[in-house]
Structure 1
Amino acid sequence: EDDNIESHFHVYIKRPPDLQRGLDLYVRGGLTLPGESKFQDRRALGALIAEEEPICAFLGDAENAAHTLWTSHTEKLTKNWRGSQTTVTLIKKAVVQLYDLLAEVTEEKSEDALLNFFWFDQPDSGRNRRRNNPRPPGPVPALTPPPSLFSINKVQSGFTLTGTDALSEKDLPCELKVEVTYDTSRGNPYSRYSTLDFRAGKGGNVEISTKSAVSVISTKGNSWQFSIKELPFRMTIKGFDANRDLRIRTSPS
């Protein structure tokens, strides 16, 4: 079975004429990493935005403890991903390399400078003309998703959460964030959550029952923060509308 996954990120470049000092931002799922800033004397604005869950999970494992920059030698990367070092380096340098490429094109005004990146076939005019054959871009290293640590099973008006075989005693104690929302036909269902749907915590309409050493650290809106200290564990969260589909995501913290 092919366990490779595809994901992407966005890179933006702009060079205002009156800018005196460069500024580049690196964002993973709403979190800005100031330690990745590299532009300095490059008088331009740049941004790298990662929003998809697979690339955010990968970059999250690459962050240092202070969440200020990405490094290719973290313990989580080694444990959860194959061939991660090349991919992290590619992502870290993406904004700078694109700017340097565009700056070189501007300075040299070469019509063929971007031929290996953007091209189109010339119509055949009947004349013999030399056609440049662009080199195809190199392969992008495949990302291998980490094994899931938690298993979710739906029950009447809710769901149960347990650990998988990938979760072991050496991972404990650990904290787990659980976010729940009702599915929507359009847009991001998590951003469309409303307290009118349901509410966690005191005064809410959702009930939690746990077995083993599981405790609730905090609750807010549609999310819970749990502390897990023993295996096996099991928690059940109920009280949702049985006629609506749930979307559930978990993230160790």
Structure 2
Amino acid sequence: MTARVGVVTFPGSLDDRDAQRAVRIAGARPVPLWHDDPDLQGVDAVVLPGGFSYGDYLRCGAIARFAPVMNELVPAARSGALPVLGICNGFQILCESRLLPGALTRNSSLRFINRPQRVRIESTDTAWTNRYTEGEEVRIVLKSGEGNFVADDATLDELERSGRVVARYTGEAPNGAHRGIAGVCNGPGNVVGLMPHPEHAVEELTGPSTDGLDFFTSLLAHLESSTAAPAATG
């Protein structure tokens, strides 16, 4: 059966269609979800896309965390049952929802960044990165004005110790992110927040590479392994 991946559209979302296309290219069925609908429609996973949800009033993601769609998403994700990928603004929403630690603040340059960016995959033990090789460098798109990941030293140390840094910028972080962190995950690895945009690097015609596609094929591999019947014994 084809996996069904929900892509949430908030007022101000910009990359929901791109995320749907990436899901489709990977071989799953994208299911559009509306921010005001509390029903996740039984999807197997959810992508929170990039953009400016609710105009980024108050703080990026601060209003979106209270959207009706989050009422079912947050407890399901926290239980480890629902894989969730938050991209850019989606990452901000996951931090505001306390599904992920830390916060995303203004880029250290105080300028919006829009360019292809190399990042290094630090953890492959997540629902969204298992098709990569640890240490693999990928080229995807970074486009954000508030992508500077910050946290206190104790939180950063714990993320490092527990292997929850998912991706790191190569070289100097372009946005000033602490310890060069581009993405993190929760303890079970089903929730991943990523500041760069893998959905913009899934086909040669429209992106700088196809390096982002395996974030979505990793999900399919995770879902397949999660539903596989146990091997017979005896």
- TM bracket (short chain): under 0.3
Bigger relative CO (Cα 8 Å, ≥ 6 apart): 2
Q: With structure 2 as the length reference, what TM-score do the two structures score?
A: 0.24
* Higher Cα radius of gyration: 1
Task: Return the structure number with greater helix share.
Answer: 2
TM-score of the superposition, structure 1-length normalised? 0.23
